[in-house]
Amino acid sequence: MATPLLELSNVSKSFAGSDALKDISLEVEPGQVLCLLGDNGAGKSTLIKILSGVHRPTGGEVRVSGTPVNFGSPKDASVLGIATVHQFGGSFPLMTVERSFFVGREPTKGWGVFRIFDKKTAAAISVSAVQRLGITRITRGDQIVGSLSGGERQALVIARAVHFGAKVLILDEPTAALGVKEATHVLRIIMQARAAGVAVVFVTHNVLHAMTVGDRFAVLIHGRKVDDFRKGERSRAEITDLMAGGEAMAELESELAQYELDAGESR
């Protein structure tokens, strides 16, 4: 078995005494999609922040390719090839595709202080990188990012991360704000990143999207990992139940039944 690219063992994080995460163990291998499922407040964002170097865990260990790491800043994580894509972040609506793609890593021509931004190269690389992800509507580098659809913007950011050598791609709710077709497109892009050998951590609360692309799954509730399984080991209904906290759903159903009963009596 391949060494997991990214591995968490018993990672905990507490803020001012309260546990945001407790004893989380996860691993993701190259060319695998790990889906992190959980409701709002389950600790998904905290986990992402630990993986991307924003927070330091208060307990446990994070390993990259088997080596324990201690990220001091997001830069430390990105140096090791861990790229995080937030729902809307990473693309600049009022910039052009070619400029946005190369923000912070501008290709230049010329020498010293007289270096100039190499627009031609930037346009050619950025357009071909997004087209490789199947976004053929982006044909020119000087298109404004804000004129692209949500899915295309996600594609642009993912293409950027892959182009600059991301080995682990953390996608924070990439499909949450998208329409059905757009979401399908993003899922397709996830599959392409996976096929290219990238380890993908796909954070979502959409069970269907997760089941479509996921190889491994982990469900978080109140900062704890309550289940961990591989593709095909759980049904959709089981996962949904688990995410909603099972009991909570059952409770709500009985409450609703009670309301209906009350309403019937008062009539």
Partner 1 sequence: MQTRLNVASTGVRTSPKLVAQPATVHEPRQTFRRLSRRSEMGALVGAVVVFVFFAVLGGSKFLSVGGFAGWTNVAAELGVVAVPVGLLMIAGELDLSVGSVIAASSMTLAIASGYWQLPYPVGILLALAVGAIVGLINGIITTRTNVPSFVVTLGTQFGMAGLTLGLSRALTGSTNVSVTPDPVSKSIVGTLIAGQFETSILWCIGLALLVGWVLHVSPWGNWIFAIGGDKESARAADIPVARTKVVLFVCSGLGAALVGVIQTSLYNGAQTAIGQSFVFNSIIAVVIGGVLLTGGYGSVIGVILGTITFAVVTQGIYYTGWSSDWGSLILGILLLVAVLLNNTFRRLALATKRQRSVGSRKDRNGNATTRTE
Smaller CB separation from partner 1, 132 or 222: 132
How does 152-171 read in b/e, with b if 16+ C-beta sit within 10 Å?
A: bbbbbbbbbbbbeebbbbbb
For position 191 contacting partner 1 by CB under 8 A, the verdict is yes
Segment near partner 1 (CB under 8 A), from 36-44, 145-153, 198-206, 222-230? 145-153
Output DSSP code: residue 54.
S
Segment near partner 1 (CB under 8 A), from 7-15, 131-139, 218-226, 236-244? 131-139
Among 67, 70, 108, 258, binds partner 1 (CB under 8 A): 108
Identify whether the C-beta of residue 151 lies closer than 8 Å to the C-beta of residue 178. Answer: yes
Among 12, 14, 63, 144, binds partner 1 (CB under 8 A): 144
- How far is CA 247 from its chain centroid? 28
Choose among 137, 138, 132, 148: nearest CA to 92.
Answer: 148
Among 1, 16, 17, 195, binds partner 1 (CB under 8 A): 195
For position 132 contacting partner 1 by CB under 8 A, the verdict is yes
Identify whether the C-beta of residue 86 lies closer than 8 Å to the C-beta of residue 65. Answer: no
> In a 3-state reduction of DSSP, which class is residue 61?
strand
The Cα 7–Cα 14 span in angstroms is 20
Q: Which residues would be at the binding site for partner 1 (CB under 8 A)?
A: 74-75, 78, 84, 89-95, 99-100, 102-106, 108, 115-117, 123, 127-128, 131-132, 134, 136-137, 139-144, 146-149, 181, 184, 188, 191-192, 195
